[in-house]
Amino acid sequence: MDGINIAEIIQRVVIFMPAFILALVVHEYAHAWMAKRHGDTSSEWAGRLTFNPAAHIDPLGTIVFPMISVVLGSSIFFGWAKPVPIDPRQFKNYRKGLFWVAFAGPISNIILGFLAAFALVATAAYVPQTFSFFTPMLEMLKALLQISFALAIFNLIPLPPLDGSNMLLATLSYEATQKFLVIQQYSFFILIFLMISHTLEIIGVPILWLCNIAINLAAHVFPLSSAL
C-alpha cells in the first residue's frame, strides 16, 4: 500500500486510543458520581457509576470516528461516550445539582491531566531510557495529558449539549433558559462551522497553558528529564 505507513498508523492508534477512552470513562464516571451525591441515582441504576469502559463506550463515538481521525491524521476530531442518564428532578437542589453534575466532567479531566503530567515527569526522571517501553510510555502519558485537558476545555464551551451549557443553564431564568435551548437544534452545525473555520483552535491556548502549568508543577516535585 504505497504512501501508507501501517506501522505508524498502528503506533498512533495504540498510543492515542487508550488515553482517549480513559479520559472519557473518567469524565462520564464523574458525572454519575456527582449526580448521586446530589440525589439522582439514575446513572447508578443504569450501571454507569463504574470505571468499566464497556459501560460508557459508544461504538461510533468512542471507537469508529476517533479511529478514523487517528488513522487519517485528521486535524478535525470527533469523539464521545454514551451520555450518562441524569434526572434533575431528583436533585436536592436543582440549580446547584445541575451546575456541579455538569462541572464534574471537566474537573475530573483536569485532575486526570495533572496526574498524567506527574506520571509523565516521574517516568522521564526515574525509568531508565534503556527500558523497552520507555518511549511508548512517555508518548501515551503525553497523549493522556493533552487529551484530558482538551476534553475538559472543549466541554466547557457553553453550547448545548456540552457541559458548559448546563453550567450556564443553572444560572439562567426560566425565560432565558427556553431561549437558550433553541440553540440546541443548531449545535451540531455550529460546532462543524467552528471546526472548519478553525475558530475552535482558540481553545488550544488554555489547553497548552494547562499542559505547561501541569508539567512545571510536576517538575518541582521530580527532576525534569531531558527526555521530555
- Report in angstroms the alpha-carbon separations of 39 from 44, 48, 88, 96: 11, 15, 9, 11
Does the CA dihedral 217-222-223-225 come out positive or negative?
negative
The single-letter DSSP state of residue 225 is P
**If you average pLDDT over residues 98-120, what whole number do you get?**
98
* Cβ–Cβ under 8 Å, residues 71 and 85: no
28 given a catalytic annotation: yes
Residue among 8, 28, 175, 201 flagged as catalytic: 28
pLDDT of residue 61: 92
Residue 53 makes CB contacts below 8 A (sequence gap 6+) with 21, 25
The pLDDT, as a whole number, for residue 1 is: 45
Higher pLDDT, 69 or 167: 167
pLDDT at 226: 55
pTM, two decimal places: 0.92
Model confidence at 86, pLDDT cuts 50, 70, 90, reads very high
Contact 104, 144 (CB under 8 A): no
| Mean pLDDT of the chain, nearest integer | 91
